[in-house]
Amino acid sequence: MDLKNKKIIITGGAGFLGQHLVSKLISRGVPKENIFIPEYPSYDLTKIEDIKKMFSDFKADVVIHLAAKVGGIGLNREKPGELFYDNLMMGVQLIEQARLNNIEKFVAIGTICAYPKFTPVPFKEEELWNGYPEETNAPYGLAKKMLLVQSQAYRDQYGFNSIFLLPVNLYGPGDNFDPKSSHVIPALIKKIKDAKKNNGKLEVWGDGSASREFLYVEDAAEGIILATENYDSSEPINLGAGFEITIKDLVEKLCSIMDFKGEIVWDTSKPNGQPRRCLDVSKAKEFGFCAKTKFDEGLRKVVEWYLER
C-alpha cells in the first residue's frame, strides 16, 4: 500500500506515539491535509455518535488506531473498570464503523499486557492465548486483545483488511511524566530528578527483579508504518527491540545517566507486575522492521528532553 495517496485517520494522533507517527508519515511524503486526528472532546471515541461523525467529517482510506486509556501499574490498579470499558468500546465500535464505511485498511495497536503472565521468553505470537494476563494489567490487556478477535472474525466473514500489532513498552521524547499515569521510564526519571532536588531517597516499586523490554518511540512509529504498507494478515505481530533489562539494572542505568548518588529504597509492598517481558521480533523482520535505536542512546535522549523542560 502506497500511503502517499491515502487519506489516513490516526486516533490518538496528538499523543506521545501519535505525534512521532504523524511527523514520520509527513516526512515520507504523506500530505499533511491527508491526515486527520480526531481529538477529544470534539470526538469521544467511546461514543458511537462521535465515531460516526468522524467518518462523516473525513472520508478516510486507512485508520491507524493508537488512542487508548493507558498507564502504569498504579493506574491499572486504581481504574481497572475504566481501562477495560473505554478501550473495548473505542476499538470495537471503530472497527465496526470502519467496516461499514468501506475503509481499505484498519491498523489496531494492541499491547504487550495481552500476553499471559508466565509467557515463555522471548514471547512468541503463538503464545498469546496460553494463559491469563498478569492480574493488574488484565482488564486493559484483555480489552485490547478483543480487537484481535474482532479483526480475525471480520476478515473471515467480511474480507475486512485489519491488522493487529503488539508493541512492547515505549519510551522517548514527549512521553507522559505524570506520576499518576506514567510508565516506568518516565516515572523513574521524574523520581530521580525529584530525589536529587530534595537530597532524598529514591523509592522504587517492587524488588527490582522483574524484567522489561523497551522500544524507542520513533522506532515504534517506523514499525507501524512498515506494517501498514506491507503487512496484510490478521495474525498478530510483535513490535519490539528484542532485548530485556531488569528494573534494578534500569534504575542503576538511569541513576548513572542523571548522576544520582543517593540511596535507592525498594518498596516490596508494591507489585512487580509481570515477571519478565521480552519479545520474539522475527516476524516483524519479514516486512522490513528492525529497531535501530540503542537503548543507552534512547535513554539519554529522553532524559535530556525532560531536563530541558
Q: Is residue 208 part of a domain?
A: no
Q: Please tell me the total count of domains within the chain.
A: 1
Q: Is residue 92 in a domain? A: yes
Structural domain harbouring 136: 3-175+214-242+277-292
Residue 215 has pLDDT above 90, yes or no: yes
Q: What is the CATH number of the domain that holds 224?
A: 3.40.50.720
Please compute the mean of the pLDDT values over residues 53-78 and round it to a whole number. Answer: 93
Q: For residue 304, name the pLDDT band (cuts at 50, 70, 90).
A: very high
Q: Calculate the average pLDDT of the chain.
A: 96
pLDDT (tens digit per residue) in 152-187: 999 999 999 999 999 999 999 999 999 888 889 999
Q: Tell me whether residue 195 is in a domain.
A: no
- Residue 158 annotated in active site: no
Assess if residue 207 is contained within a domain.
no
- Select which of 43, 115, 140, 231 is catalytic: 140
Domain assignment present for residue 272? The answer is: no
Q: Domain for residue 19, yes or no?
A: yes
Ordered DSSP codes for the chain: --GGG--EEEETTTSHHHHHHHHHHHHTT--GGGEE---TTT--TTSHHHHHHHHHHS--SEEEE-------HHHHHH-HHHHHHHHHHHHHHHHHHHHHTT-SEEEEE--GGGSBTTPPSSBPGGGTTSSPBPGGGHHHHHHHHHHHHHHHHHHHHH---EEEEEE-EEESTT----TTT--HHHHHHHHHHHHHHTT--EEEES-S--EE-EEEHHHHHHHHHHHHHH---SS-EEE--S--EEHHHHHHHHHHHTT--S-EEEETTS---SS---B--HHHHTTT----S-HHHHHHHHHHHHHH-
Does residue 259 sit within a domain?
A: no
Task: Determine the pLDDT at residue 70.
Answer: 83
Q: Which of 183 and 30 is assigned the larger pLDDT?
A: 30
pLDDT computed for residue 248 by the predictor:
97
- Tell me, yes or no, whether 11 lies in a domain: yes
